[in-house]
């Protein structure tokens, strides 16, 4: 809805400066709300007019700012124009602000912000997001939590903004470790134990056979033989490997369900074995694969074609590497899904790997590699539970649920819940997500259970608590959405601050879409929750005259809608009671 006000100001600017309105609209930004003083609603950095060729770069910036301010007029939309240092601030008609924002949120609560003309500049189409990507035949390690929730956020955001999204889980399901596991299982495994606790049994077998392989060459030879038969598609060997894979995927789906994450396609390195050989054949035919003195097959990535920078695709023994299968996977996905962009979500240690992958694709002549993106993230430090150091994601989720349920039982304000364990889990997951998303993704961060699960402060628990309080208020009194309301009842500073903040929502979505960082949306929602909490305290519905109560309910309903919409993009399920 900010676009209505931006467009109105841009129309004035266009008449004065002669620039098209469409150039001027994105240059007007909603002003962040200040706790200390009344803030204007929109701001124009005059330097942006210079950068866009609207104003001369030779004239003094402040002189141009003051001259332009004097030329602008107040009207039915703009109440005041204020000159600042290199900026022009606009105060808009507050009655109109209340009417426009709350009417759109009443009529189209789900599309608020996402239909903004600011977002039209974004490329839309088919987006493939590869995320999570754990290794099969192992319990889900906590280290995969970040890739899972970050990838889910990116997929949700792209979908909300009008893209067709394909969510891919690229499993680690190939390599010599499966030779060890397969050979070990044939000797030490039990189908009965596999049925009872599959991943735990496979983990125990792997640990034992790995220990034996360190000092017993016959174990290593047996593993190599098993993997050789696997690569040759021996029926019995492949059947056992497939059993491991199917069991793992079913177990992982239970974890994904707890996190509220889904996938459209499960893939893995194994799917691209034969295509990897085709890639190598093509590279050799086109003389793009060079052989080093040590016998490795490499692709020259240097600007001077002197092998000062290269990627290794073939070992000296002729076997392919992980990056070879990634090239094959990228080519296969382009042919199968016809994506417009592809996003990989992995930890930052793989940054060089993806730089090389995209360069190889470009060297091969695939210009769509320019639309392939790697979103790197840092490490989580110090994640532990009552049981000690946590390595399994299941333990982290159980710990979050246990601690949250304990906190809810201790709290005097807790409501009667239909399923307290599910609610505790949903709030616990919210807490994990917000803790993870508050900073830059590439940064490492220290995990602290005490901070994560605080009900006060900038936490996922606080977001859920705010949403639940608003939902409780609306259940008790109704939303006010089906009745007429008087905008003059929402001219107080608390109401106006919320509405001014809501004007920023489309800008926050745009920034999130441009850099694929969730912190912009997290910060927006936390501020919205603080503003809503203050308004809830100071703007009572109960006991107020009917017309005033209806107006406040309309405001709280709108706030609740945006809060819920934003939480869902982050991958959080909003709870109605807690």
Structure token pair of residue 456: 């006060």
The question of whether 482 is a catalytic residue gets the answer no
Catalytic site residue from 94, 100, 138, 139: 138
- DSSP-based three-state secondary structure for 571: coil
d(CA 116, CA 161): 10
Going by C-beta distance under 8 Å and a sequence separation of 6 or more, which residues neighbour residue 179?
223, 224, 225, 226, 227, 228, 230
- By residue count, the chain amounts to 578
The question of whether 138 is a catalytic residue gets the answer yes
Strand order in the sheet with 289-291: 289-291, 297-300, 310-314
Catalytic site residue from 139, 144, 467, 520: 144
Three-point CA angle 161, 167, 172, nearest 5°: 150
d(CA 215, CA 467): 58
Tokens 């109109």 sit on residue: 96
Q: At what angle do helices 235-259 and 145-160 cross, to 10 degrees?
A: 70
Catalytic site residue from 141, 348, 366, 568: 141
The question of whether 144 is a catalytic residue gets the answer yes
Query: Cα separations (Å) of 87 from 25, 94, 173, 349, 460?
Result: 15, 21, 56, 42, 35
**b/e per residue 440-455 (b: at least 16 CB within 10 A):** ebeeebebebeebbbb
Annotated active-site positions, please? 138, 141, 144
């Amino acid at each position: 809805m900010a676009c209505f006000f931006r467009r109105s100001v841009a129309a004035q600017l266009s008449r004065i400066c002669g620039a098209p309105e469409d150039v001027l609209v994105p240059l007007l930004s909603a002003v962040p709300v200040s706790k200390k003083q009344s803030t204007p609603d929109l701001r124009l950095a005059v330097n942006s007019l210079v950068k866009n060729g609207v104003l001369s770069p030779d004239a003094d910036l402040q002189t141009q700012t003051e001259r332009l301010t004097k030329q602008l007029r107040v009207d039915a939309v703009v109440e005041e124009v204020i000159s600042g240092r290199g900026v022009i601030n606009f105060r808009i008609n507050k009655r109109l602000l209340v009417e426009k924002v709350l009417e759109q949120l009443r009529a189209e609560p789900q599309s608020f912000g996402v239909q903004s003309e600011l977002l039209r500049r974004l490329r839309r189409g088919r987006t493939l997001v590869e995320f999570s990507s754990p290794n099969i035949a192992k319990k889900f390690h906590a280290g995969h939590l970040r890739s899972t929730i970050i990838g889910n956020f990116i997929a949700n955001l792209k979908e909300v903004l009008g893209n067709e999204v394909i969510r891919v889980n690229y499993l680690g399901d190939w390599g010599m470790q499966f030779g060890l596991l397969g050979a070990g299982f044939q000797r030490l495994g039990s189908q009965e134990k596999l049925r009872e606790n599959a991943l735990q049994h496979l983990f125990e077998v792997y640990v034992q056979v790995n220990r034996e392989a360190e000092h017993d060459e016959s174990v290593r030879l047996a593993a190599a033989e098993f993997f050789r038969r696997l690569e040759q598609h021996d029926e019995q060997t492949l059947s056992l490997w497939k059993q491991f894979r199917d069991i793992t995927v079913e177990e992982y789906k239970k974890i994904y369900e707890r996190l509220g994450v889904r996938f459209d396609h499960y893939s893995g390195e194994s799917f691209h074995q034969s295509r990897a050989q085709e890639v190598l054949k093509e590279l050799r035919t086109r003389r793009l694969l060079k052989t080093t003195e040590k016998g490795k097959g490499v692709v020259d990535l240097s600007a001077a074609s002197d092998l000062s920078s290269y990627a290794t695709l073939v070992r000296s023994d002729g076997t392919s590497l992980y990056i070879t299968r990634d090239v094959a996977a990228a080519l296969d996905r382009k042919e199968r899904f016809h994506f417009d962009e592809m996003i990989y979500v992995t930890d930052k240690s793989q940054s060089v790997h993806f730089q090389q992958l995209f360069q190889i694709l470009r060297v091969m002549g695939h210009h769509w590699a320019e639309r392939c993106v790697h979103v790197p993230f840092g490490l989580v430090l110090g994640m532990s539970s009552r049981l000690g150091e946590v390595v399994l994601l299941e333990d982290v989720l159980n710990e979050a649920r246990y601690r949250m349920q304990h906190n809810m039982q201790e709290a005097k304000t807790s409501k009667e819940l239909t399923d307290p364990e599910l609610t505790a889990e949903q709030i616990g997951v919210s807490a994990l997500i917000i803790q993870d998303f508050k900073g830059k993704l590439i940064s490492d961060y220290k995990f602290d259970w005490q901070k994560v699960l605080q009900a006060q402060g900038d936490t996922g628990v606080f977001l859920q608590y705010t949403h639940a309080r608003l939902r409780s208020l609306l259940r008790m009194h109704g939303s006010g959405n089906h009745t007429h309301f008087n905008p003059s009842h929402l001219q107080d500073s608390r109401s106006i601050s919320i509405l001014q903040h809501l004007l920023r929502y489309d800008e926050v979505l745009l920034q999130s879409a441009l850099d694929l960082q969730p912190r912009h949306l997290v910060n927006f929602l936390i501020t919205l929750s603080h503003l809503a909490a203050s308004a809830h305290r100071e703007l009572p519905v109960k006991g107020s005259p009917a017309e005033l109560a209806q107006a406040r309910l309309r405001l709280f309903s709108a706030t609740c809608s945006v809060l819920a919409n934003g939480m869902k993009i982050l991958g959080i399920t909003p709870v109605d009671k807690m």
